[in-house]
Amino acid sequence: MTQRLEKRMAIHPRTALAEGLDKLKAPSAKKFAGFLRQGDEGGLVPCWGAIAKRFEQDCKGAAEREAVWRELVGIGEKSALLLFVKHNLSHPAMLAKMAEEAAALPVVVQRVLASLDEAHGLLERKLPQLSAEAQQIWAADAETRRAERVRFESRMARLVAVDYIPAAKPAG
């Protein structure tokens, strides 16, 4: 494992994403990065629920979404990648981008993409590069793909159930 990857894995995905977005020029990316670091609820730490809502609010354009995607792929954190998939189902250009890069994604994200009717045709030429599990889901009947999608939706509902948690108080 490289030192860069070890360093990225040692920090929270929220912090890693904020650091990456700070490097971008888009004001909306910088605004989103600031929220990831500091929240907006009187010192409360944003969790995936608030992060997903703020993403929809701050990152409406294709350029912003693609910039966030690039950072998330670099971080590799599964929950963040899955939330991104969920919040981009109605964005055909982003679905095409995710399908194009699917082979580099964690298996759980590949499985979800393979289950999506919206991405089914987009994945066809990338299929040989996907995990065996994702290939099986892609080739499965509609009911099997639907069951995988239900698992995905259930996981997303649990993930976004919490918006904020209190910040830890300094010891002493």
This model's pTM is above 0.85:
no
Q: Which two tokens stand for residue 116?
A: 């999506």
3-state secondary structure of 164: strand
Torsion of CA 8, 14, 15, 18, to 10 degrees: 110
β-sheet bridge partners, residue 46: 164
CA distance 38 to 74: 22
Domain boundaries, given as residue ranges, for the chain: 12-165
Residues 53, 84: contact at Cβ < 8 Å?
no
* Axis crossing angle, helix 48-58 with helix 27-38, rounded to the nearest 10: 160
pLDDT in tens, 10-37: 567 788 888 888 887 778 888 888 888 8
Query: For residue 129, what is the DSSP state?
Result: G
pLDDT in tens, 100-128: 999 999 999 999 999 999 998 999 999 99
Q: Which residue, among 118, 125, 145, 117, has the nearest Cα to 133 in the 3D structure?
A: 145
Residue 5 has pLDDT above 50, yes or no: no
- The H or E element spanning position 133 is helix 132-139
Residue 172 has pLDDT above 60, yes or no: no
